Structure 1
Amino acid sequence: METRKIQTVGGGTYTVSLPKEWAESEGCTAGATVNLHTHIDGLLVIQTPESQSTARNRVTLSVGNDDPAEIEQLLRAAYAAGLESVVLEAPDGYTDEQHRAVERVTRNLTGVTVVEATESQVTVRTMLDAGEVSVSQSVRQLQFVALSMHRDAMAALTTGTTGDRWADRDEQADRLYAMIDRYFERGLARLDEIDALGLTRPELFTLWGTANELERVADHAERIGTVADRLDGEPDASIAAALDDIARDVHAVVEDAVRVVIGDACVATARQTLADRRDVRERITGLDRRLFESGDADYRLTRALDSLARTAEHGGNIAELGLRMAVRDGALAESTAGTDDANASGSAAESES
């Protein structure tokens, strides 16, 4: 990093010199034009028109006789990388299986559609506009999907009730996460994308990390539902009650942690959430031991209990992201200072009395 002194010229205009090495590497000479971008997180970026035009938003891929699963992987990778348009070329034509693979991607990824198709070429484009996307709202939706899956899977496990199949909602969770992941990737490469989203880079990272954890919460809910489908019967009433109690607290751990990240709860909630996670850990360990010692409990319940433990861990990870955010933004220091001031006032009142 280099430093430059800001100077003024006639009329009070502020100026700063450019590093010579950078100017030469970019082909900048006296009289050349550069683009200036101001960003939401306080950055001022200088960019030559040539470098701005080299950003890759379109790619052409030759798929030939590739396996349909590989075509699907390529399209998902291009979506995650933030590309706007992908042209798939198959000189010998597409098979029905390859066409179905493309259709699955367009059906399962938000904003993706086929805009042109011939016998040897298919163009897939993402129509999303960052200015119309709310990452924080998408995280809220992902939380709702993941926790509704968790709630219904636990009901199926402990009472034998049946609800919606988990696969459909797990696909919805995957779709939401994929969209958030896409904008995180684009935000790493394009500062104008950050501005369009209305977020700073640390805020986007925190939301992306939260989405990552929630997607795994949904996966574990699906796993619990699968265990429920395979049980020979309902668990013993006392075991079911213990599972229900733990599941409610695990649900609260995840929900409260997300509230901290999206700004609906304060840093004190993050601390309490981490304390609740520790308590849940101990209770899960105790119930796991109880299942082992009972001898007649269905061994598959331990798999569900393991998913509950992992769900609590993912909730705790989100709470830790919230604490990190609080440290970065100064909220943790303010909270501590407020507590110290209150304690000092209380001590002074006691001494006066």
Structure 2
Amino acid sequence: MTRRKIQLVGGGTYSVSLPKAWAESQGVDPGDEVSLHAHLDGVLVVETDAAADEPAGRGPVDLPVDGADPTHAGRLLRAAYAAGVDRATIEAEDGFSVETRRELERTARGLTGTTVADGTDSAITAATPLDPSEVSIRQSVRHLSFVALSTHRDATAAVLDGGSNDAVVDRGDQARRLHALVDRHFRRSLSRLDEVDALGLTRPELFDLWTTSRELERVASRATELAETARRLDDCVDERVADDLRECARDARGVVEAAVDAVVDERGIASAREALVARDDLREATEALDRRLFESDRADPRLTAAVNAVGRTADHGAAIAEAGLRAAVRRADTAADDGSRVGDGVGVAAGDDD
């Protein structure tokens, strides 16, 4: 880091010198113009014209593949989406197999805002013309929370009541699609100067929301594990075990809900603490249930996978709650700069009684 003193020049203009080594490395000469970007989080960034003309994450990019390998082609398109590329052309010198072409089209349909814009025998172009100013990351995470918890609820019913798990598969795909959208904009923000401002967030806020999104996708994955357990069970679950597992699953979802409130709705320390305490209590309950299943002669041992999935669900909620705690502390630090202090996630005028 280099420090410079602010100078006041004629007309009331503030001036600061640029480090010579940086200017030379960027090809900046006296008389050249640079762009200044003032960001929501108080950062002022200097950008050369060359960097502005070639911003990271703006296509097109050409990606060569083996046209007979649909799995790799799909992975490559998903990687381009996650990297923030706006336009990716998948090229196969010897042409695409029918399976590869179908896989690319299926992958594009599963990525929010992506369409197959053009296609020939040897090249397929997928475009993602998403405007970040029209994307609400906070609302996307709220939607993902609803999807993940609904999926978990349906999966629990499939295990305990023998319900269908078809909805679990569909919602699991929806959860992955929503997280992929959040992940794309988060990764673009790492290299794009204008991305965070367009989203209307600070970098710490975006990171907390991305962390929440990642853990919610994992909650949906735990729901898929529950649904898989339901498919493999031969008999109905013992009534007492079913009641205990149902209560544990409900409590696990409560952990996630409280944690998401702490981050997305900025409920503060109280909501995060509620989630963490509930997770600790649930851990004791799932361990006791797991021991009972192990010691029982009648219990299906495959139910232990369901108990584990429920416990891990609460762990994902705890990870979100910890992000909520960090956010609350960060807001407290900001309030302190304004002469306030924060009690339970809420600013309190300095000198007031607790």
TM-score (norm 1): 0.93
Give the Cα–Cα distance (whole angstroms) in 2 for the partners of residues 191 and 149 of structure 1. Answer: 36
Residue 65 of structure 1: CA displacement?
A: 3.6
2:88 to 78, 86, 89: 86
2:295 matches 1:293: yes
Residue 287 of structure 1: CA displacement?
A: 0.8
Aligned length: 344
Q: Which residue of 1 aligns with 2:115?
A: 113
Residue 345 of structure 1: CA displacement?
A: 5.8
Cα offsets for 1:22-50 (capped at 9, x unmatched): 11111222211111111111111111111
Q: Which residue of 2 aligns with 1:124?
A: 126
Structure-to-structure mapping, 1:209-288, within 5 angstroms: 209-263=211-265, 265-288=267-290
Give the Cα–Cα distance (whole angstroms) in 2 for the partners of residues 71 and 163 of structure 1. Answer: 29
Q: Which residue of 1 aligns with 2:47?
A: 47
| Cα gap change, 1:32 to 1:184, in 2 (>3 Å) | same
Q: Which residue of 1 aligns with 2:17?
A: 17
Give the Cα–Cα distance (whole angstroms) in 2 for the partners of residues 146 and 47 of structure 1. Answer: 40
Residue 250 of structure 1: CA displacement?
A: 0.6
Task: Give the number of the structure whose residues are more often helix, by fraction.
Answer: 1
Structure-to-structure mapping, 1:123-162, within 5 angstroms: 123-162=125-164
Residue 92 of structure 1: CA displacement?
A: 2.3
Give the Cα–Cα distance (whole angstroms) in 2 for the partners of residues 158 and 114 of structure 1. Answer: 42
2:34 matches 1:34: yes
Q: Which residue of 2 aligns with 1:351?
A: none
> What residue identity is the alignment partner of 1:25?
S
Cα offsets for 1:134-190 (capped at 9, x unmatched): 111111111111100111111122222336432111110110011111001000011
Residue 337 of structure 1: CA displacement?
A: 10
Say which SS state the counterpart of residue 17 (structure 2) adopts: coil
Q: Which residue of 2 aligns with 1:335?
A: 343
> What residue identity is the alignment partner of 2:94?
D
Give the Cα–Cα distance (whole angstroms) in 2 for the partners of residues 157 and 121 of structure 1. Answer: 45
Q: Which residue of 1 aligns with 2:196?
A: 194
| Cα gap change, 1:294 to 1:188, in 2 (>3 Å) | same
Give the Cα–Cα distance (whole angstroms) in 2 for the partners of residues 345 and 119 of structure 1. Answer: 74
Say which SS state the counterpart of residue 30 (structure 1) adopts: coil
Residue 340 of structure 1: CA displacement?
A: 11
Cα offsets for 1:280-328 (capped at 9, x unmatched): 0000011111111122101111100000010010000100010011112
Q: Which residue of 1 aligns with 2:338?
A: none
Residue 233 of structure 1: CA displacement?
A: 2.2
Q: Is the CA contact 2:40–2:197 (under 8 Å) kept in the aligned structure 1? A: yes
> What residue identity is the alignment partner of 2:265?
G
Q: Which moved more, 1:163-172 or 1:205-214?
A: 163-172
> What residue identity is the alignment partner of 2:342?
E
Q: Is the CA contact 2:87–2:128 (under 8 Å) kept in the aligned structure 1? A: yes
| Cα gap change, 1:185 to 1:227, in 2 (>3 Å) | same
Cα offsets for 1:195-244 (capped at 9, x unmatched): 11011111111111111101010001011012112212221111111111
| Cα gap change, 1:338 to 1:160, in 2 (>3 Å) | closer
Give the Cα–Cα distance (whole angstroms) in 1 for the partners of residues 323 and 213 of structure 2. Answer: 11
Q: Is the CA contact 2:155–2:224 (under 8 Å) kept in the aligned structure 1? A: yes
> What residue identity is the alignment partner of 1:182?
R
Q: Is the CA contact 2:151–2:167 (under 8 Å) kept in the aligned structure 1? A: no
2:207 to 205, 208, 211: 205
Q: Which runs of 5+ in 2 are unaligned?
A: 336-340
Give the Cα–Cα distance (whole angstroms) in 2 for the partners of residues 143 and 243 of structure 1. Answer: 21
Say which SS state the counterpart of residue 105 (structure 2) adopts: helix
Residue 263 of structure 1: CA displacement?
A: 1.9
Residue 55 of structure 1: CA displacement?
A: 2.4
Q: Which moved more, 1:119-128 or 1:78-87?
A: 119-128
Give the Cα–Cα distance (whole angstroms) in 2 for the partners of residues 286 and 293 of structure 1. Answer: 11
Say which SS state the counterpart of residue 189 (structure 1) adopts: coil
Percent of residue pairs bearing the same amino acid type: 51
Give the Cα–Cα distance (whole angstroms) in 2 for the partners of residues 340 and 20 of structure 1. Answer: 46
Give the Cα–Cα distance (whole angstroms) in 1 for the partners of residues 347 and 134 of structure 2. Answer: 40
Say which SS state the counterpart of residue 165 (structure 1) adopts: helix
Cα offsets for 1:82-121 (capped at 9, x unmatched): 1111112223222211111111111111111111111222
Q: Is the CA contact 2:108–2:116 (under 8 Å) kept in the aligned structure 1? A: yes
TM-score (norm 2): 0.92
Q: Is the CA contact 2:269–2:325 (under 8 Å) kept in the aligned structure 1? A: yes
> What residue identity is the alignment partner of 2:140?
S
Q: Which moved more, 1:61-70 or 1:35-44?
A: 61-70
Give the Cα–Cα distance (whole angstroms) in 2 for the partners of residues 49 and 37 of structure 1. Answer: 13
> What residue identity is the alignment partner of 1:203?
E
Give the Cα–Cα distance (whole angstroms) in 2 for the partners of residues 340 and 40 of structure 1. Answer: 24
